[in-house]
Structure 1
Amino acid sequence: MKHTYPISGMTCQGCRSHVEKALNTVEGAVATVNLEKAEATIEMEHHIPTEVFEKALKASGGNYHIGQSPQPMLAKPKPVAIQGALYYCPMHCEGDKTYDKPGSCPVCGMDLVAQAGSTEDENSTYQKLLFKLKIAIAFTLPIFIISMTDMIPGNSLFQWATMTTWNWVELVLSIPVVFYATWMFFERAWQSLISRHFNMFTLIGIGAGAAWLFSMIALFFPSIFPHQFHSHHGTVYVYFEAATVILTLVLLGQVLEARAHGKTNAAIRELLKLVPNEATLLRDGKEMIVSIDQIQKLDLIRVKPGEKIPVDGHIQEGHASIDESMISGEPIPVDKQVGDIVRAGSINGNTSFVLQTDKVGAETLLAQIIDLVHQASSSKAPIQKMADTISSYFVPAVVLSSLLTFIAWALLADENAYTFAFVNAIAVLIIACPCALGLATPMSVMVGVGKGAQNGILIKNAEALEKLAEVNVVIIDKTGTVTEGKPSLEKMLVSSEEIIEKDVWQKILSLNILSEHPLAKASVVFAKNLGISPVQVNQFEAILGKGVLGQIAGKTYAIGNQKLMEERGINIPVDLFKQVLAEQKQGKTISYFADEKEAQVALVISDKIKESSQQAILDLQSEGLQVIMLTGDNQETADLVGKKLGLDAWKAQMLPQSKLDEIVRLQAEGKKVAMAGDGINDAPALSQADIGIAMGTGTDVAIESAEITLIKGDLRDIAKARKLSQMVIRNIKENLFFALGYNVLGIPIAAGVLYPFFGMLLSPMLAALAMSFSSVSVISNSLRLRGKAL
């Protein structure tokens, strides 16, 4: 038996793990704890009293409690979209925990992100941050100008006012930046100190805060500072520009990140567009237009030509040719008869039919695909940023250095010991905070994204660039990814050498130009490319699922499949039939052209493999990547394509859920998976993969679900994108070195190691110079990416 119990007292992922271990100490119980739902699912052979589990929790320590009323596990249909906004931490510090209000993560300080499918406007966070960035720039720019002009001899600013006055101006201008535009960074820094999860915000908060507070003290109490800290103006050097520049640059990075997160719901919106808002309900012999929400199981729905099917059901009356590419990815419509199943979101052809509803709302296959996309996109935790990783070690080291500096000066200095101790300890915090750290990643990413766009590779965010370099398995779809994604006429098979092909092509063009079937359009394109012109056709008739008939110059001709030939009593010559069988074994589609008695030719139609696919797969395999094809097509076609391209593996007849499950399996084996696809059926897999890569020639849903889009739909660009990823990651690491290098070298000087030997303390000019050099180095190094070849 299996029951669920409410659990109270859990606040983080560590709590969840603690409770789960405690419950599993009870003999005969297997427990799984969910932090988000605050509940435990416990499987047991015989009922175990709740008191036993409560005793186990009490013995484990911690203030955790289990509810008294277990509820049986019931399968509930999953919602298509979340009603009301839910937010989660993109770093998943607390597992799958969600919040009902926007804000920052209580553990790491990152902005909470709205879940895909939420009704909250996902652009609101971006717009708020953008407004704050404009405020920060407006006030930081004049501070920076005032500070920099102090280095220019004969500065005209000092003809208007003294240095002390300008320092007061800098203070006033810095207040909106510190206490409004970027105050959230100090809140995050404080939260990170409390939780002991040090990150970039810890470093920024300590460094920028120390610089601003030092400047305040220097402005209000300049007399407490030793003469070594006074400038030639008689004032103590202030760091208002360093503090505001640091904070503004970090805010710029947050704005860029928010813009990327603002697109997370786009894939869900595109999928929801596949469901019509209304449907034609048949009741008591009458047709009525009703909202999709009013449809119930066993209702009869009329679907008219060209309409989207509103629910899952089966055909009760009539027949149809249905475009099911959103499920299978295959471009050729499927012929449906009475009793056949049709799916919500697929598109009806040019006939009308009546379906009986089998599944509605969250039970439909389309709703399940939407839910898969939502789950995959919200459960995928981004990797920890390198700046945060560095900060987790750098912050304790800097704080320790500052404390040791204070202790050393307090114990060893003879005169003004505590003043020197305080000033030098603060100086360590100031010099240790590199203002270029906030610029190191976004600068490389911006240049890298621009470089990708020039080469037809659209990259949605920095995370995609970072993770693509680690990929070791590439999953590819067949239709529209490896192949052209549309039926094309490959060749004509003839029953006799006496047949005049030009005359035959004219008749085929004349008949098929009147048909709306994709197979007919393939032969029309081919014939027109040969320069053929159509002639008059009389008594044209389209027979659903079989082909077309028509009279040309008084004679009846037919184009269609073998069923049409058999139905019309048309003979298929043995030699022609043998050629057809050979083509069908390779997964090709066949359409016959016949007069009233005998088939004259057979048209071989296939989804042509792109010319670039072979080279693209060889390029990926040469870099040590495993290339696997997952397709919704039949096994014969998959075998043909897989062997021809030399793929490492392939699987056929894969539904959206099957593709997603295969990627989850590979990820469980420790593989880093990239998925390349172009269809609606690929959307869940694209979201689940470590990196989703969409063909620019594919559907909007696929493009929105993916993190990288190849504009030309050329698989060779995956290798280019991976090379760009490696270049950007290397560049970011170099930038981090430049961002930290000058400042790390300045820490011993700030601590005062040169004072006993040379009487030198940290020069404010040196601190400003270190910050300037690190920023210039980062910008210059990032711009080098523009000259690199892919």
Structure 2
Amino acid sequence: MTDQTFRFAVTNLSCAGCAGRAERALADTPGVRQASVNIANKMAQVTGTADSANLRDALARAGYPAAESVHRLSITGMSCASCTGRVERALQEVPGVLSAHVNLATETAEVRVLDGAVDVGELAKTVTETGYPATPMGEDTPVEPASETAPLKRDTLIAGALTLPVFITEMGGHIFPPLHHAIMDSIGIQTFWVLQFLLITLVLAWPGRRFFRIGLPLLVKGSPDMNSLVALGTLAAWGYSTIATFAPGLLPEGTRAVYFEAAGVIVTLILAGRWMEARAKGRTGAAIKRLIGLRPDRVRVERDGVFTEIPLSEVETGDIVEARPGARIAVDGVVLTGQSFVDEAMITGEPAPVAKSEGSEVTGGTINGQSPLTYRATAVGSDTVLARIIDMVQTAQGAKLPIQALADKVVRVFVPVVLAIAAVTVAVWLAVGPDPALSHALVAGVAVLIIACPCAMGLATPTSIMVGTGRAAEMGVLFRKGDALQRLDSAAVIAFDKTGTLTEGRPSLVDQFTAGGIGPEDALRLTAAVEQSSDHPIAQAIMVANTAPLPAPESSETIPGYGLRANVDGKTLLVGSPRLLTEHGVDATPIQNAIDRFSDKGHSLVCLSIDGEAAAVFAVADQIKPGAKAAVDALHEQGLKVAMVSGDSPAAAHAIAGRLGIDHVTAGVLPDGKVDAVKALRDAFGPVAFVGDGINDAPALAEAEIGLAIGTGTDVAIEAADIVLSSGRVAGVVNAVEISNRTMRNIRQNLFWAFAYNTALIPVAAGVLSPAFGVQLSPMLGAGAMALSSVFVLSNALRLRRVAPAQADAPEPAFREAHA
């Protein structure tokens, strides 16, 4: 059984410690080769052969159950229990499926899956391929886990409403003594405390119950998380206050005080912080939502000679689909009838609409222009270009960067260490603290527990990755692997393949010289007349350049290795290399200076002689792509070396490199030689990023520290690369480097502030400043600071959404909503 990778949602995750424990639980499951858990989108990604139910059970034992969902299918063609058994087995073999039950009487299937691992369309396709046509019942399940924003908002408002009277009366009494005296004179201290007890107990039991439901069982299991810290801190404050209210004799003399307001404010502030986190995290996945939104819900497909609207999930390969003016192309296909312009900016990043006619390929998610098209579906579901792009982005967003390893190591031991620090803090205050020592110890211990929650550490890396890779996708840069972000940031040299990457990949006429009184147009017309029977790329370049009607040759003869001889308009013509003229005794002196000049530039030459006289020489070359020079200059400005590796002749390669300002050239190499060239560049300069587009570039793309494939290139090159530049523009390389640099800088900022926050404030919470300055941090302030630290990290990551393309001529943005 081969390894398979799939993603699914995990619940109860609230900090990096949770993600680490869930990740280790998955990694320890038999059959798992690699596992990662992303705290930002609360998704797990698993590679291996492990059974889905075993993964679910492992997470349940760890205290972080996998989210589950149920899909239903309508199935035809079943006639006995053997049929249902076959369908059930087929479904159970799909990664992410937990159980499948097929009902023969109702001809339906109910499939329970790990949420986000598999959609209903894939399940229907699996059953259909087994031999029993299946269609989804109901709507597709979203890829993303359900948003927590609404329930968190509700709980925050409830907690705030219940806590506010306690906070105002208790803290207001300290700030404004007449308020305290009024309360004492009216209801008395005992009634006042009982009312606080009732309100705050309701806070803990209602909106705050989530902390106890998750945190306390994990504490009992010996694997406490952030919820455990909050639960311990609030329970300590509430428990001490409850004893002081109802059993004051159990406390030492002079220590009777209540901290109900601290427990209530802590819960309210942390819930508010999580609410803000949820809102911010919702924005981090905006790029994926926009990509998913490119899929139309319903499609017009030909059925029995009539176009009928059906759900997108029911479209099959080979269906004939209609795209009305202004409508989205539903799936990938080939145009059968119609002529139109299609806006492909959301896929390729190219702003100009592309002409489409019979035989043209169209891509799902793009927008048809003002004329109708019909096309035959060639790829549907997960096989479409858009689905593969979504999968690339989701895979990258779920990846774990090497830089995160340090944070993971810290978080793994962080909560136990915090518990130990809190215990030591309480012990020290009890031993040497001023009276009332017990009250001071309680405040310090609770403050340590609350302020030390490692939320910001866990969010620091994944949120930046999500926003950075999403923004990159909008610019036409697709990170197939998340760790490519970090590896590209460390690259010292960018090496380009020449043909098809820096150049157009096809020769064109770039210069010409005529002699003997013949005009340039006539010379080109006669040369094209001789070349019209040839399919050589250089001959095609001559043909494309000519716009005049072509006479038919009266006779034509190929001279292998040299060129052609033909009679046209009563003239004897030779067309080919300079050697052809020499071999036939033609004096090339009239055009020799042009031959030398064009040769020095690395151009391919086509010479023309008429009736034994040298008449013209044409220079043919692979043109440099628009924006290539600007891209090389931009890379130089970023402090990078730029190299070119090519199979072309040294003269041609150096000519291109000179025009582009490239630092290092390796020319005349075979495909395996490109691998050696990458190794040599690494030895000379450091980590190498290689940019290519062809099959012959795949070994070099795999050898380099980071491989970037031009999206217009071959599938082999794209599969070998870490990053795909969907637009095919060289500017994409500059944008990839820019987004990598900006994202890594953002991650380092987040990690610094997350670590600095905990490093600086835990000692303050423990009370180290109290002896010298009389400063002791309130648990309420600690809760506010903890919540704000997470919001700061998220807000900093969201700044990446505003990263602009590094080159002014780069398309902006890809995956945008067009005029439809």
Which TM class, normalised by the smaller chain length?
Answer: 0.5 to 0.7
Amino acid at match of 1:603: F
Amino acid at match of 1:689: A
Task: Kindly indicate whether the alpha-carbon contact (under 8 Å) linking 1:675 and 1:689 is maintained by their aligned counterparts in 2.
Answer: yes
* Separation in 2, partners of 1:186, 1:562: 88
Task: Kindly indicate whether the alpha-carbon contact (under 8 Å) linking 1:493 and 1:576 is maintained by their aligned counterparts in 2.
Answer: no
* Separation in 1, partners of 2:541, 2:752: 57
Answer yes or no: is 1:573 the counterpart of 2:587: yes
* Separation in 1, partners of 2:587, 2:96: 64
Q: 1:437 to 1:406 in 2, by over 3 A?
A: same
Of 133, 154, 164, 2:201 maps to 164
Amino acid at match of 1:482: L
Amino acid at match of 1:164: T
Three-state SS of the structure 2 residue aligned to 1:134 is coil
Equivalenced residue count is 557
Counterpart of 1:651 in structure 2 is 666
Answer yes or no: is 1:519 the counterpart of 2:538: yes
Of 688-697 and 444-453, the range deviating more from structure 2: 444-453
Counterpart of 2:146 in structure 1 is 134
Counterpart of 1:146 in structure 2 is 158
* Separation in 2, partners of 1:548, 1:776: 73
Map 1:195-594; keep pairs closer than 5 Å.
206-215=225-234, 223=242, 230-232=259-261, 238=267, 241=270, 245=274, 382-385=401-404, 387-388=407-408, 391=411, 398=418, 401-412=421-432, 424-425=444-445, 427-445=447-465, 448-449=468-469, 463-494=483-514, 496-510=515-529, 512=531, 515-527=534-546, 532-535=547-550, 537=552, 559-560=575-576, 572-575=586-589, 578=592, 579-580=594-595, 583-584=598-599, 586-593=601-608
Task: Kindly indicate whether the alpha-carbon contact (under 8 Å) linking 2:468 and 2:739 is maintained by their aligned counterparts in 1.
Answer: yes
Task: Kindly indicate whether the alpha-carbon contact (under 8 Å) linking 2:269 and 2:784 is maintained by their aligned counterparts in 1.
Answer: no
Task: Kindly indicate whether the alpha-carbon contact (under 8 Å) linking 2:285 and 2:470 is maintained by their aligned counterparts in 1.
Answer: no
Three-state SS of the structure 2 residue aligned to 1:499 is coil
Task: Kindly indicate whether the alpha-carbon contact (under 8 Å) linking 2:148 and 2:278 is maintained by their aligned counterparts in 1.
Answer: no
* Separation in 2, partners of 1:244, 1:781: 15
Shift of 1:647: 3.9
TM-score (norm 1): 0.55
Task: Kindly indicate whether the alpha-carbon contact (under 8 Å) linking 1:677 and 1:686 is maintained by their aligned counterparts in 2.
Answer: yes
Q: 1:725 to 1:508 in 2, by over 3 A?
A: same
Shift of 1:675: 1.9
Counterpart of 1:735 in structure 2 is 750
Map 1:34-49; keep pairs closer than 5 Å.
none
Counterpart of 1:101 in structure 2 is 32
Of 471-480 and 768-777, the range deviating more from structure 2: 768-777
* Separation in 2, partners of 1:104, 1:788: 30
Three-state SS of the structure 2 residue aligned to 1:633 is coil
Task: Kindly indicate whether the alpha-carbon contact (under 8 Å) linking 2:750 and 2:796 is maintained by their aligned counterparts in 1.
Answer: yes
* Separation in 2, partners of 1:166, 1:583: 84
Three-state SS of the structure 2 residue aligned to 1:675 is strand
* Separation in 2, partners of 1:420, 1:401: 15
Counterpart of 2:189 in structure 1 is none
Q: Deviations over 1:174-219 (max 9, x none)?
A: 6898799xx9x999x95xxxxxxxxxxxxxx643432245456777
Counterpart of 2:694 in structure 1 is 679
Amino acid at match of 1:503: D
Shift of 1:441: 3.5
* Separation in 2, partners of 1:554, 1:786: 68
Three-state SS of the structure 2 residue aligned to 1:603 is strand
Task: Kindly indicate whether the alpha-carbon contact (under 8 Å) linking 2:491 and 2:687 is maintained by their aligned counterparts in 1.
Answer: yes
For structure 1, the 5+ residue unaligned runs are 1-81, 191-204, 261-376
* Separation in 2, partners of 1:650, 1:131: 46
* Separation in 2, partners of 1:400, 1:669: 50
* Separation in 2, partners of 1:682, 1:122: 35
For structure 2, the 5+ residue unaligned runs are 7-19, 50-92, 98-112, 119-141, 168-194, 245-254, 290-395, 807-820
Q: 1:103 to 1:502 in 2, by over 3 A?
A: closer
Answer yes or no: is 1:634 the counterpart of 2:620: no
Of 224-233 and 431-440, the range deviating more from structure 2: 224-233
Shift of 1:547: 6.0
Task: Kindly indicate whether the alpha-carbon contact (under 8 Å) linking 1:178 and 1:244 is maintained by their aligned counterparts in 2.
Answer: no
Shift of 1:99: 7.7
Three-state SS of the structure 1 residue aligned to 2:455 is coil
Task: Kindly indicate whether the alpha-carbon contact (under 8 Å) linking 1:486 and 1:607 is maintained by their aligned counterparts in 2.
Answer: yes
Q: 1:441 to 1:228 in 2, by over 3 A?
A: farther
Shift of 1:489: 1.3
Shift of 1:406: 3.5
Task: Kindly indicate whether the alpha-carbon contact (under 8 Å) linking 2:513 and 2:520 is maintained by their aligned counterparts in 1.
Answer: no
Shift of 1:487: 1.0
Q: Deviations over 1:269-301 (max 9, x none)?
A: xxxxxxxxxxxxxxxxxxxxxxxxxxxxxxxxx
Task: Kindly indicate whether the alpha-carbon contact (under 8 Å) linking 1:125 and 1:258 is maintained by their aligned counterparts in 2.
Answer: no
Task: Kindly indicate whether the alpha-carbon contact (under 8 Å) linking 2:709 and 2:725 is maintained by their aligned counterparts in 1.
Answer: yes
Task: Kindly indicate whether the alpha-carbon contact (under 8 Å) linking 1:208 and 1:244 is maintained by their aligned counterparts in 2.
Answer: no
Three-state SS of the structure 2 residue aligned to 1:436 is helix
Amino acid at match of 2:522: D
Task: Kindly indicate whether the alpha-carbon contact (under 8 Å) linking 1:546 and 1:563 is maintained by their aligned counterparts in 2.
Answer: yes
Shift of 1:513: 5.5
Counterpart of 1:609 in structure 2 is 624
Shift of 1:770: 1.0
Q: Deviations over 1:494-519 (max 9, x none)?
A: 3x331122223234445556654322
TM-score (norm 2): 0.53
Three-state SS of the structure 1 residue aligned to 2:206 is helix
